[in-house]
Each structure stands twice: as C-alpha cells, then as structure tokens.
Structure 1
Amino acid sequence: MLAIRLPDEVESRLEALAKATGRTKSFYAREAILEHLDDLEDLYLAEQRLIDIRVRNTQTVPLEEVMRRYDLED
C-alpha cells in the first residue's frame, strides 16, 4: 500500500484521465512508477559509480581497451 500527496494540478489531470478512460487513478500511478523505476535505479547506480571513481574506490577502463578486449575494433 502506498499513499502519496500530489499537487492539485497533477491530481486533477490524473482524475480527468481516469474518468476519460475508465481506468483508476491507481492504475495510472502504478504505470508511471513502473515506467520510470528502471531509469531512477540506473541514475542512482551511475551516481554511486561516479562517487566511487572520484574517491578512487573503483578502477576505470579506457574505451580503447574495452574495444580491444571484446574484439570490437574495425
């Protein structure tokens, strides 16, 4: 169960969409979350990796090396 507060304008838009389509507001909220959850997780992971690189807790590999290692050169 999840309860969220939305700005009035967003709530109105969601209500109108739900009425116009015969779906519930919960359906559209769930769809929006599922649609963007992967992106949010990717962003978090990228931010964590950047922090690790900046404090030298992880090693980087130059693109040229990756290309050679996986035989992706032209």
Structure 2
Amino acid sequence: MLSVRLTAEQDAMLERLARETGRSKSYYVKRALDDFLADRADYLLAIAALEREEPRYSAAEVRRELGL
C-alpha cells in the first residue's frame, strides 16, 4: 500500500474529475502512474541505446527506407 500527499489544488482537481466522470480518484492516480512508468521506461531504454552508440536513423531516413 502506498500513501501520497497531494496539494489542495491537486486533490480538488482530482475530486472534480472523479465526480464528473463517475470514476474513482484511485482510478486516475493509477492511470497517471502507469503512463509515467511506461514513459520513464521508454526514456531509460533510449538513453541506454545512445550510450551503446547503436546506429541511429532520422524519421526521414526511416520513411525513405520503408518507401513511405
């Protein structure tokens, strides 16, 4: 179990969102945490690839290679 302290403004915004959508505040906190963790994992994987000096391609190069 985890306890998180929100600012009064965060709590009010979360309360309003939950009330207006019929979802729980926990639902939105879990979704936000899931999104953050996924983004952070992607970021760390990208940093690791850069540190390994793996080949990099621009979006234009990828489109050209795929014929898009």
Task: With the length of structure 2 as denominator, give the TM-score of the two structures.
Answer: 0.63
- The residue number in structure 2 matching 1:21 is 21
Higher Cα radius of gyration: 1
Where does the alignment leave 5 or more consecutive residues of structure 2 unmatched? none
Identity, % of aligned positions = 36
* CA RMSD between the two structures: 2.5
* CA distance in 2: counterparts of 1:11 and 1:60, whole angstroms: 44
Give the deviation of 1:4 after TM superposition.
1.1
Structure 1: gaps spanning 5 or more residues: 53-57
In structure 2, how many angstroms separate the alpha carbons of the residues matched to 1:43 and 1:19?
Answer: 33
**Higher-RCO chain (CA-CA 8 Å, sequence separation at least 6):** 2
